A and B are shown apart, each in its own frame.
Chain A
């Protein structure tokens, strides 16, 4: 792009102003959440708002951690995220490879079937899935939540890994096949290691999807298997509504998102763009 050719100082000032406004718009709500978690109730509700100068406290975190439920919510979220991600990668990565390499029209067309699956509104899948799980007496189990998450995760992984494998050069695999390796061996020993960045990007998407999921967890979990988003809602329905506690729990809920966005940014962006724009 040749947009930086002749920029007048007025134009640069306008650009700087717009950039500042955009950053403020997108960052202030996050800043508000971060600070509310460290505020006493009186400062969180202060009018006019106290953006920067308030009494710092860790009371909210003590409160949520000593209430026996929080560690369990956290553990449940970790179990569900890891379970769904592992299952989706195990099923989705080989399938993505098969679709990328196969010359069969039938196998190639199946990628669109997975894309369609990805587009299904969650509630349309949840209503019948809930009934099926109810009949199997699996409501409230980790298995129910993990399998339903894995459907949407795996559909994304296939789609993403297919585009990724298509960009990985085939020459080395072909050489291995000539040397007597089996197609499965070529996949395991050559294609898999070469596609590690794509697998990382897919895994990040799966972790975020399961960790952030609220609707599925709302309908499929029991008090024992509740995940963090449900814990956050629980801090509302109790006798007193505590925004400080809500903020503190939300802060725990957004840690993976922050880590990924700030440190694994490249992989995350790659996953989000490749997953939605590559045919």
Chain B
């Protein structure tokens, strides 16, 4: 898109650097320094509850501990289940919604603007609302399930086999609208000609969807996959509001476990080590996302 420069790699325009510099300095001070500190502190035993605030050098012991820590393994597995469950369902549902709500009529516009409300809400509030809907004593959802003859024991959030699907449903409720608007933007930018050609060739609507729309939507699909995967790794508020990782460790995702280790038990060194492991996983995904965005431009 932008003109390729043929100047040296280190060439910068001074006036543009001047506009960029304040942010760079701010980010270096507020974000980069703490991240390096996090790397450093992960090699130490450092408990905030220790009255002497001693830091004992442990080397990579925290990282070795993490690999053998059963809760960490469970948390990683739960994170993968959560991410896979939400991403796949949100992708399919979001594509379906985009096709359903693609019209340009007044009603469609109005309905679309209603549908995007969930993603603007605080995740904490979303979690609490669903917690009350799931409540075993007076919740709406267990009540209607009971009408159909399904009793849910300690409720959707209290039973080990129901807890993760219930939390996944909350995420689906909040974020499928985002997937929908990404697909709507993708659908809008589709070229007209291939459909005309397909119609002349006698293709039915299903065939033109399968052979034209889906392949052309590939960039949107990739973006949704990567974006929602990365955001899935960030889930915290709805877990905090609904299950606090329970029952047992059924919904303990890595993010929530790091919070517990660091901010509840104040084992800062170990929490930093776990956070760095999470960071590496997400960074790999982020780089993949960037490559996709870059390719799409060409």
Contacts and interface: CB of A to CB of B under 8 A. Distances in A.
A119 B2 CA distance: 25
A261 B113 contact: yes
B33 A1 contact: no
Interface string A236-279: 00000001001000100110011011100100110011001111
B87 interface: no
Given A26-B177, A102-B13, A103-B3, A243 B34 contact: no
Interface in A201-234: 208, 211-215, 219, 229, 232-233
A49 B177 CA distance: 27
Contacts of B223: 276-277
B6 to A, nearest CB: 9
A187 B227 contact: no
A268 B120 contact: yes
B271 A250 contact: no
A175 interface: no
B263 A257 contact: no
Given A124-B275, A261-B120, A29 B23 contact: no
A151 B130 contact: no
Interface string A123-165: 1110111111010000000000001101100110010000000
A109 to B, nearest CB: 10
B52 interface: no
Chain A CB within 10 Å, residue with most, of B33, B124, B140, B275: B124
A36 B143 contact: no
Contact of B9 (A33, A106, A213): A106
A36 B132 contact: yes
B162 to A, nearest CB: 18
A277 B219 CA distance: 9
A122 interface: yes
B15 A184 contact: yes
B81 interface: no
Nearest to B195: A2
A115 interface: yes
A2 B234 CA distance: 39
B122 A119 contact: no
Chain B CB within 10 Å, residue with most, of A119, A134, A182, A273: A119
B78 interface: no
A199 B56 CA distance: 48
A98 interface: yes
Interface residues of B, number: 107
Given A15-B100, A25-B173, A47-B143, A254 B113 contact: no
A33 B129 contact: yes
B128 to A, nearest CB: 6
A44 B293 CA distance: 47
Nearest to A19: B100
A253 B190 contact: no
Given A132-B33, A279-B296, A46 B138 contact: yes
B71 interface: no
Contacts of A272: 119, 178, 181
A146 to B, nearest CB: 10
Interface stretch (B61-69, B152-160, B279-287): B279-287
A267 to B, nearest CB: 12
Contact-residue size bin, chain A (C-beta under 8 Å from the other chain): 35 or more
24 contacts: A3-B205, A26-B115, A29-B126, A47-B143, A49-B140, A103-B7, A115-B286, A116-B287, A119-B283, A127-B258, A128-B38, A131-B268, A148-B30, A155-B27, A182-B15, A212-B120, A215-B237, A243-B132, A262-B114, A269-B181, A272-B181, A277-B223, A277-B293, A279-B296
Interface of A: 1-5, 15, 18-19, 22-23, 25-27, 29-30, 32-33, 36, 44-49, 90-92, 94-95, 97-108, 110, 112, 114-117, 119-125, 127-132, 134, 147-148, 150-151, 154-155, 158, 166, 182-184, 187, 208, 211-215, 219, 229, 232-233, 243, 246, 250, 253-254, 257-258, 260-262, 265, 268-269, 272-273, 276-279
Interface of B: 1-3, 5, 7, 9-13, 15-20, 22-24, 26-27, 30-31, 33-35, 37-38, 41, 48, 96-97, 99-103, 111, 113-126, 128-130, 132-133, 137-138, 140, 143, 173, 177-178, 181-182, 185-187, 190, 192, 195-196, 199, 205, 220, 223, 227, 230, 233-234, 236-237, 240, 255, 258-259, 262-263, 268, 271-272, 275-276, 278-279, 282-283, 285-287, 289-290, 293-294, 296-297
